[in-house]
Structure 1
């Protein structure tokens, strides 16, 4: 092997070593920047609502419901059975099982947002 070939091999190995060291050190020295590409960002969830019951009824995101709960901006109605409600429910939610909901409608304020849930 000629001296020129050895020189190019050594240069190539040196470049690979420098790249390898950089790939190891950059994430260690700048973890927030280096790992940003690994952190999943927000994703939009598109749901076809045409098959949902009552398509004219507006729906909100879980985040918006959480905000309404924290700011006391809505009444939460649990439409599950009394037994399911007793096992656990959103704090402050009223129990109005779906099969009894119509008889409880007069208890609700029409001017206050109402959020119903069943899971």
Structure 2
């Protein structure tokens, strides 16, 4: 999870994502609403990548955030 979110929230590129989730990390799905409706991880939050910058206030900054998408390209941004 390199890129903007990892730098913004201070996560390392090689994080133990399972442990992070078990300890309250936020799973952020950056796919479109249509893609999200087709299937998503339990307890994930959907904010599409194209609207992320205007919705950052909806995310808790005291918790690690793990971004996911269909292929990994958008969540890497």
Under a length normalisation based on structure 2, what TM-score does the superposition of the two structures give? 0.68
Q: CA RMSD in A?
A: 2.2
Aligned-partner Cα distance in 2 for 1:72–1:87: 27
SS at match of 1:103: coil
1:65 paired to 2:49: no
**Which structure shows the higher strand fraction?**
2
**Which structure shows the higher helix fraction?**
1
1:79 paired to 2:33: no
Larger RCO, structure (CA 8 Å, separation 6 or more): 2
Under a length normalisation based on structure 1, what TM-score does the superposition of the two structures give? 0.46
Q: Which runs of 5+ in 1 are unaligned?
A: 1-52
Q: Structure 1 pair 102/117, CA: closer, same or farther in 2 (3 Å)?
A: same
Q: Which runs of 5+ in 2 are unaligned?
A: 71-77
Name which one, 1 or 2, has greater alpha-carbon Rg. 1
